[in-house]
């Protein structure tokens, strides 16, 4: 059983959902800049540009989530532990991106809905999965060591 009450976890979930807007905006702006101003050609515009925008959005999302949603869980961490969390965060978001694509295609195949609606359905599912990964693995609560707990004398 989680040590954090359901209400606090629900608030974290809402905060993460809202904070993902920063990533969506970053992704869109960087994609537009790369595909319209920096790169020419099919591969550069349709493969390289989305990869760059996805990574930029991941980094922005990590900064916002770590400082806004899970701030209390990373307080006092140095650069190296924070970078380890970023690498884990980036890996989890990359994996769920591929899951999102599979879900999007499956939902579209089954329902014949427009790709935008299928994307929203897939984003809702993978957004929940990302939250669980963040809450339980990447930003899990650090427990104090026994020697850190004050002893009554």
Residue-wise pLDDT for 36-47, tens only, equals 899 888 888 888
What is the overall mean pLDDT for the chain? 84
Domain annotation covers residue 67: yes
DSSP code of residue 70: S
Quick check: 72 and 135 in contact, CB under 8 A?
no
DSSP code of residue 149: S
pLDDT tier at 142 (50, 70, 90 boundaries)?
A: low
Domain annotation covers residue 146: no
What is the structure's pLDDT at 143?
58
Burial of residue 108 (number of CB atoms within 10 Å: 0-12, 13-18, 19+): middle
Provide the domain limits for residue 57: 6-141
Domain annotation covers residue 133: yes
Predicted TM-score (pTM) of the model is 0.73
d(CA 101, CA 58): 16
**Tens digits of residue pLDDT in 55-104:** 998 999 999 998 888 888 887 778 888 888 899 999 998 998 899 889 98
- Quote the number of domains for the chain: 1
| Best CA proximity match to 108, nearest among 118, 120, 98 | 118
Domain annotation covers residue 15: yes
Domain annotation covers residue 150: no
Angle at 124 between CA 123 and CA 130, to 5 degrees: 80
Task: Tell me how far CA of residue 8 lies from CA of 20, 24, 44, 125, 128, in angstroms.
Answer: 18, 25, 43, 21, 16
Quick check: 12 and 70 in contact, CB under 8 A?
yes
Domain annotation covers residue 152: no
Domain annotation covers residue 151: no
What is the structure's pLDDT at 146?
47
Domain annotation covers residue 98: yes
| Best CA proximity match to 11, nearest among 60, 58, 70 | 70
């Amino acid at each position: 059983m989680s040590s954090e009450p359901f209400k606090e976890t629900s608030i974290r979930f809402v905060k993460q959902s809202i904070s993902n807007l920063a990533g969506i905006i970053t992704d869109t702006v960087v994609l537009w800049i790369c595909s319209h101003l920096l790169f020419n050609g099919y591969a550069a515009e349709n493969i390289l540009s989305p990869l760059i925008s996805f990574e930029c959005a991941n980094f922005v999302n990590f900064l916002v989530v770590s400082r806004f949603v899970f701030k209390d869980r990373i307080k006092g961490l140095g650069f190296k532990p924070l970078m380890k969390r970023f690498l884990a965060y980036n890996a989890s978001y990359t994996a769920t991106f591929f899951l999102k694509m599979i879900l999007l295609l499956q939902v579209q195949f089954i329902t014949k809905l427009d790709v935008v609606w299928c994307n929203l359905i897939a984003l809702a599912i993978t957004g929940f999965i990302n939250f669980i990964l963040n809450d339980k693995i990447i930003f899990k609560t650090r427990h104090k060591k026994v020697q850190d707990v004050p002893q009554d004398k």
